[in-house]
Amino acid sequence: MEERGILIVVSGFSGAGKGTIMKRLLEKYGSDYALSISATTRDPRPGERNGREYFFRSVEEFEKMIAEEELIEYARYVENYYGTPRSYVEEKLAEGKDVILEIEIQGALKVKEKFPDTLLLFVTPPSTEELRNRLTGRGTETEEVIESRMRRASEEAKFMDRYDYLIINDVLENCVEEMHQIIRGEHRRSYRNTDFIEYMKKELKGE
């Protein structure tokens, strides 16, 4: 019963450690996953390569992708478009890879609405103290930026219960292992195995 991959959306508080978790997950279990690559109209930064960090597109190209429904979701921040190209995701899912989209909450909920089988994972530290510590600990942010992130976290917390699972990032290695196990477990959901169930029903009826 080799199956299609699962579309996974990962969101979470800024400072919760999403990036580190994704990196470690792909180091350990890279062959199981594909990280979705976003398309954007912003200019490449030094060192960024087309098709690695982003698919870099002109505004005209991007708006054509919107019009032709080639994006699973998209949003506009400030001057630029960001979106998830459908073709790459579809291709990887068909190969049996679980495709991870790291996007913010509004995008996540849109994806779930369009594709109800999407698995929504929300990454959170084990406490608000820990969240503040991590934001402070970076040492690169002003008090003002930290406060603004905490306020944003407060807004985001309102949507935690719309996610399927909470990924509690306490100890990194445990957290990565747990996330991987949750995803492996999801492959055994009955509703993701209707082909197998139909096969068993049919075979047993023929007995």
Q: Does 128 bind a second copy (CB under 8 A)?
A: yes
Contact with a second copy (CB under 8 A) among 31, 46, 143, 205: 205
The residue (of 37 and 166) whose beta carbon lies closer to a second copy is 166
Q: Which residue type is seen at 71?
A: L
Strands in 78-161 per DSSP E: 80-85, 98-102, 119-124
3-state secondary structure of 191: helix
Closest approach, Cβ 147 to a second copy, in A, equals: 8
The residue (of 42 and 149) whose beta carbon lies closer to a second copy is 149
3-state secondary structure of 9: strand
Is there a contact between 89 and 36 (Cβ–Cβ < 8 Å)?
yes
d(CA 89, CA 112): 14
Q: Does 181 bind a second copy (CB under 8 A)?
A: yes
Q: What residues between 133 and 162 interact with a second copy by CB under 8 A?
A: 150-151, 153-154, 157-158, 160-162
Closest approach, Cβ 167 to a second copy, in A, equals: 7
Question: Which tokens hold the place of 76?
Answer: 């506009």
* Candidates 35-43, 76-84, 95-103, 122-130; binding stretch for a second copy (CB under 8 A): 122-130
The residue (of 45 and 158) whose beta carbon lies closer to a second copy is 158
d(CA 198, CA 85): 32
Q: Does 29 bind a second copy (CB under 8 A)?
A: no
Residues in the chain: 207
Distance of CA 47 to CAs 27, 83, 176, 191, Å? 21, 21, 28, 43
Q: Does 28 bind a second copy (CB under 8 A)?
A: no
The footprint of a second copy (CB under 8 A) covers: 1, 122, 124, 126-128, 132, 150-151, 153-154, 157-158, 160-168, 178, 181-182, 184-186, 188-191, 193-194, 196-197, 200-201, 203-205, 207
